[in-house]
Amino acid sequence: MRRVADIMTRDIFPLKSNQTLNVVRLLMRTVRVRHVPILDDDEQFVGLLSHRDLLAYSISKLADIDPREQSELDRHIPIKDVMRTDISTTTATTDLKEAISSMLENKFGCLPVINDQRHLVGIITDEDIIRLAIKLLEKEAEPQLVSV
């Protein structure tokens, strides 16, 4: 039986809740992630900020705000003011089918993976699931050896 730990991303880039939105934008652009887990000062998971959330808190390009102005505005908005705190999480030992079903049913793009102390140990994203699907499809396409 596969577990969340089998496919979760371990190279995560969490930020602290007292950092600002310009740091989130820079991280997303530089590392190319769409979900940023947020930690408190005790390194416990407290929230999540997604690319979609960030767009919702941005001034529309239709307002003719140039990127420098947006960046200046973002420097004054702490992550804790806009992050989502009602985030479902999972554990590394959770059955993978259960986690994927939860993501599908609730339309989650990710599930942060935490341990018993609420420390972040990974994240499972829709991208991780797509990678798994590709692996399984490739394995299925391999020629099967027939024993005689």
Task: Give the chain's radius of gyration (CA, Å).
Answer: 18
**How much is the pLDDT for 59?**
66
* Distance (Å) of CA 145 to CA 51, 77, 111, 140: 45, 60, 38, 12
Query: Model confidence over 112-124: pLDDT tens digits?
Result: 999 999 999 999 9
User: What pLDDT score does 67 carry?
Assistant: 72
**pLDDT tops 60 at residue 16:** yes
Query: Which pLDDT score is estimated for 64?
Result: 67
Torsion of CA 18, 19, 20, 25, to 10 degrees: -140
pTM of the entire predicted model:
0.85
State the pLDDT at residue 141: 83
Query: For the chain, what are the domain ranges?
Result: 4-139
The mean-pLDDT minimum among 62-71, 104-113, 115-124 falls in: 62-71
Judging by beta carbons within 10 Å of its beta carbon (0-12, 13-18, 19+), is residue 45 exposed, middle or buried?
A: buried
In this structure, are residues 4 and 99 in contact, taking their beta carbons and an 8 Å threshold? Answer: yes
CATH number for the segment(s) 4-139: 3.10.580.10
Strand, helix or coil for residue 50: strand
